[in-house]
Structure 1
């Protein structure tokens, strides 16, 4: 029986169809945030590089699954968001949180959708947040296509290139995890750095920090 958290087991058990299904679930369903999207794509690309999966079919399926999954998450957020955030009470579901989200996506929307693709867990919730914040669907869809293509195609091709360079001579799981860790750290660090360049963002974060420490 395949281990759902082991990308190699998943690929061997279900092939490209299962890879696409998991990418869709991780992108569009809240229950999919724990699934191994990055390592799965890298492993699938590696398998394609060694001739065990068809590269073009894999790319089409993974990119389509990422884009369609994000659109499902956006739709869920748009249809249910205001029911969740309709009250003025409560720390987690206060209406002010939704208003902040709307302002954030108005300013950083496109870049957020693309960059979130490369950050585990965040990519699961970002489309829903965009829907809740009333980000126009045409704008979301355009950036979603870019993000889904860069992530689905780029990470897969990274695994493919790795296979072509080193063949069967490395510990696949060990090196894939290292590659994923480096990619996540670099992307997350770049995202935070970019946001902190904005004066208003820095002021809001500073105000929250001071507020918490003064209580």
Structure 2
């Protein structure tokens, strides 16, 4: 099993910028309507965060990459909705997901401004609420006043579990002369958990998506 992680760790150690770029893109694409419903961004972030305790990646840069990606992704979706207004909600590809769009609107009407905050933690509407907020005319200042604090909470919530899990398992093992092997085992455990979590989320999204496709016209 360690042979699987050895090349990954070596590659990330030699090219950490690529890992940070992957984190950035994972967070960005997860915030894009439709695309965010199929990209396992949270899984990628959790898996790569497991490389922080071993020193392959730096925690501040991991948080920054994930945070900036989320800000750009949410902001782009919001501005598209803000400029096109409600027309965007009835335009392809959103027309293929009428139920999620409807749920996003209901979520927004129910929680108001706070919907932007709460949606950050609720897939799959996380990828639809920013564009919905813009389409419904939410002022930019109000959107960013809630969106940025939400991302400041969301980023650590996605990164720290992987970091803390690996760190705690290292400490629990307490085998200093087997740190190298132990690190790989614990990292493999966390990565395996991340993959399992990603598959579970993907399955839920697929089930959700199968019921939201637009019905063919008679």
Name the TM-score, length of structure 2 as normaliser: 0.64
Is residue 31–residue 73 contact of structure 2 (8 Å, CA) maintained in 1? yes
Does 2:130 align with 1:112?
no
SS of the aligned residue for 2:51 comes to helix
Residue 147 of structure 1 corresponds to which residue in structure 2? 150
Does the aligned pair in 2 maintain the 1:39–1:180 contact within 8 Å? yes
Of structures 1 and 2, the one with the larger relative CO (CA 8 A, separation 6+) is 2
Q: What does residue 28 of structure 2 align with?
A: 24
Q: Distance in 1 between matches of 2:24 and 2:82?
A: 24
Per-residue deviation, 1:132: 1.0
**Structure 1 residues 163 and 131: CA distance shift in structure 2, 3 A:** same
CA offsets 1:112-166 (integer angstroms, 9 cap, x no match): 2122112232111110111111112111111111111111122111211111011
Deviation at 1:31, TM superposition (A): 2.5
Counterpart contact for 2:108–2:116, Cα < 8 Å: no
Unaligned runs of 5+ in 1: 1-7, 185-215
Which structure 2 residue ranges, 5 or more long, are not aligned? Answer: 1-7, 171-182, 202-218
1:74 and 2:70 are equivalent in the alignment: no
Aligned residues: 168
Counterparts of 2:97 and 2:29, CA distance in 1: 24
* Secondary structure in structure 2 of the residue aligned to 1:28: coil
Aligned-pair CA distance for 1:44: 2.0
Q: 1:78–1:131: 8 Å Cα contact kept in structure 2?
A: yes
**2:172 paired with 1:172:** no
Displacement, 1:73? Answer: 0.7
Q: Take 2:41 and 2:155, find their aligned partners in 1: how far apart are those partners?
A: 9
